[in-house]
Amino acid sequence: MSITDMEYNPTTKSLQISMKLFVDDLELVLEREREIKCFLGTEKEHPKSNEFITAYVGTHFFVEQSKGSLPVTFIAKEVDKDYAWIYLEVKNFKVKDQTLLTNSMLFDYFNEQTNKVNYTKEEEVISFTLFKENISKEF
């Protein structure tokens, strides 16, 4: 299971996203895609691993509003024990607009992977789970 927490920041008018996944899973996916071992969060970490992660996120995580797909910016990655945290930001996010979120991270390699999303919209929390047969959610 991965957890994605999203919160709208009215000051920056952006959607701030932190995504938590098992670092071993992420590493395996990158290894399969690139045929390179990344050693995430270690001294041996591949210098381009953030680039690889950005590319993978770019094909598996989408935020769409009426104006189409919004650019998802990779901010940083952190490795904490078993978990990797990926920080993403979506600028010019219209908090009142209908939004379609797609998160198919890891589905291509792990059949039973589920991605839970908790979206804090002002006081309200919208929570849902995405899985292989259902990769998007509109809210």
Partner 1 sequence: MKKILTVALCALGLIANAQESTNKNPFRQLKQELPTPNSYRTAAGFPGHEYYQQKADYVMNIELDDNKQILSGEETITYHNMSPDALPYLWVQLDQNMRAKDSDTKKIAQSSIGESMSFDNLKRMMNDFDGGFKLDFVKGIDDKDLNYTVNKTMMRIDLDEPLKSGESFSFKIKWWYNINDRMQIGGRSGYEYFEDEDNYLYTIAQFFPRMAVYNDVEGWQNKQFLGRGEFTLPFGDYKVSITVPEDHTIASTGVLQNPDKVLTSKQIERLEQAKTAEQPVLITTQAEAEKIEKKKATGKKTWVYHAENVRDFGFASSRKFMWDAIGVQFGERTVMAMSYYPKEGNPVWEDYSTKAVAHTLRSYSNTTFDYPYPVAISVNSKSIGMEYPMICFNYGRPEKDGTYTARLKYGVISVIIHEVGHNFFPMIVNSDERQWTWMDEGLNTFCQYLAEMEWDVNYPSRRGPAYKIVDYMKGDKSNITPIMTNSESIFQFGNNAYGKPATALNVLRETIMGRELFDYAFKQYAQTWKFKHPTPADFFRIMEDASGTDLDWFWRGWFFSTDHCDIALNDVKWMQISDKNPENQKAFDKKMEDNSEDFIGDVRNKGNAKNTVVELDPSTKDFYNTFDKYNVTNLDKSDYKKYIDKLSSEEKKMLLNRNNFYELNFELVGGLVMPIILEFTFTDGSSQKEYIPAEIWKMGNQTARKVFWFEKEVKSINLDPNLETADVDRSNNYWPAKVVPSRFELYQQKTRESENEMQKAKRSK
Is residue 135 within 8 A of residue 106, CB to CB? The reply is no
Best CA proximity match to 3, nearest among 105, 94, 73, 93: 105
User: In which residue are the tokens 């591949």 written?
Assistant: 46
Q: Which span sits near partner 1 by CB under 8 A: 48-56, 63-71, 84-92, 94-102?
A: 84-92
Total number of residues that touch partner 1 (CB under 8 A): 40
Distance from C-alpha of 38 to C-alpha of 103, rounded to nearest angstrom: 22
**Residue 17 to residue 89: CA distance in whole angstroms:** 6
Residues 42-81 as x/- pattern, contact with partner 1 by CB under 8 A: x-x------------------------------xx-x--x
Contact of 132 with 21, CB cutoff 8 Å: no
Minimum distance between the CB of residue 24 and partner 1, rounded to whole angstroms? 7
List all residues 6 or more positions away from 31 whose beta carbon is below 8 Å from its beta carbon.
37, 38
Regarding 129 and contact with partner 1 (CB under 8 A), the answer is yes
The residue from 69, 92, 98, 127 that contacts partner 1 (CB under 8 A) is 127
CB-nearer residue toward partner 1: 44 or 67: 44
* Interacting residues with partner 1 (CB under 8 A): 1, 3, 5, 7, 16-18, 20, 23-24, 32, 39, 42, 44, 75-76, 78, 81-82, 85, 87, 89, 104, 107-109, 111-112, 114, 116-118, 120, 125, 127-129, 131-133
